[in-house]
Amino acid sequence: MAIRVLGLNSRIASIEVRELFSFDAGAVEETLGDWQARYPNIEAAFVSTCNRTELYVASERNDLPDNNTVFPFLVPPRRRSDALAVEFERYSNNFQSFSGFDAAKHLFSVASSLDSMILGEPQILSQMKRAYETSVRMNTTGPILNNAFQTAFKTAKRVSVETEIFRRRVSIPSVAVVDFALNIFERLSDKKTLVLGAGEMAEETLKYLADFGAKSIVVANRSREKAEKLAAEWQGCIVDWEDRFSAIAQADLVICATGATEPTVTLDEFKKTETKRRGPKPLFILDLAVPRNVEAAIGNLPNVYLYSVDDLEAACTRNKELRDKEIPKALKIVEEEAMQFVKSARTRRSIETIKTLRENWTQIKDAEVERLLHKISCDEHDQEEIRYAFERLINKLLHSPTVSLRDASENEAASGLLESVRRLFKI
């Protein structure tokens, strides 16, 4: 069995380089089609995200093309006519390649989010599953890559269940939602969320809120156009900036992320909303802006939970420290699964080789026995004795090769014996 990966990612290639090798869904399918046309007997799976572009290839035989040959398939179709784009030497420092055990280990690490820009980022697993589904649909995978990706998904599940890595959020928006909002509210599906501002921080926080069930979204921003765009993206509605305090009175969660240099939610104006609030229900306020958008004194009011970026960063740092302690445990899981994958692949290959060798020898034996019985005259009992003797001969001849091949499947250093036997007997 041979398996290899060639690709680049955000850790080893700048965004300028990654842009040159970025693929959309159509380009991935076209590339897999080109691969199948060129190498119909070699499996392939293509992984393309904003942070990585990787091509996994595999074969039951050690007949994989070299990296220089594989490289053009990592160039988007729109750029393949560019002579510079297919010069591997020019970009080789931005690519990495792994084979065999190391390729399996890399795949399992990627799926487990141990090779991501943000360690423990859960989105990578869903991206890997979509990439695998596309390759299966394009009929470019086979027994090796099917088993490899299924094992990768199992490995990711083990890392998720057996370690704290996926449960320790380290970005400001994710910590705000998971470590703070969900500690105040049992659920978010029936809560009203008000967003003051329409920038990247507000949008990313809304993404996490939506992931945990938030549905009722209201946006207020000085630029009505930006507010409308953000609200439309999350199926929400907008209110005029001047009406933000009335909206605060109706909200359960308030996210403040404007670029204002002075507080946009003052204590005096906020107090005017208290009489409009529906009873003593809690109000959760995330002030994600620097300088702060919300006057700190508001956090001292009853039933108001106000958190600033400093509060969230402290939680991020604490989570990162706890998460990093789990990395050795996660890497051990990846190592175990990669070793088992390679071992199982060698064992399966060994069994297939032994089976094929036996079938081939049995055909020869049967033909020779029948030829012999046609030349001599003997009763049925003697014929059975002759057949039995030839069968014993085949078993004795196959015994040592069978034991050796089984031992080779357990011993990586002796795994070359398997390929030698297949070449010797043209299997």
Q: Are 42 and 32 in contact (CB under 8 A)?
A: no
Helix (H, G, I), strand (E, B) or coil at 140: coil
Q: Which of 50, 237, 256, 378 is catalytic?
A: 50
Q: In what order do the strands lie in the sheet with 2-9?
A: 43-48, 52-59, 2-9, 96-99
Tokens of 85: 């784009």
Q: Which of 341, 336, 335, 333 is nearest to 1 (CA)?
A: 341
Distance between the two ends of the chain, CA-based, in angstroms? Answer: 14
Query: CB of 113 within 8 A of CB of 107?
Result: no
Is 50 known to be catalytic?
A: yes
The strand ranges marked E within 202-341 are 216-220, 237-238, 253-256, 283-287, 304-308
Q: Which of 264, 248, 152, 259 is nearest to 198 (CA)?
A: 259
- Ramachandran angles phi, psi of 305, nearest 5°: -115, 105
C-beta neighbour count of 261 within 10 angstroms? 8
Which residues neighbour 382 within 8 Å (Cβ) at sequence distance 6 or greater?
none
Residues with Cβ < 8 Å from 164, sequence gap 6 or more?
322, 323, 326
Q: Which residues are catalytic?
A: 50
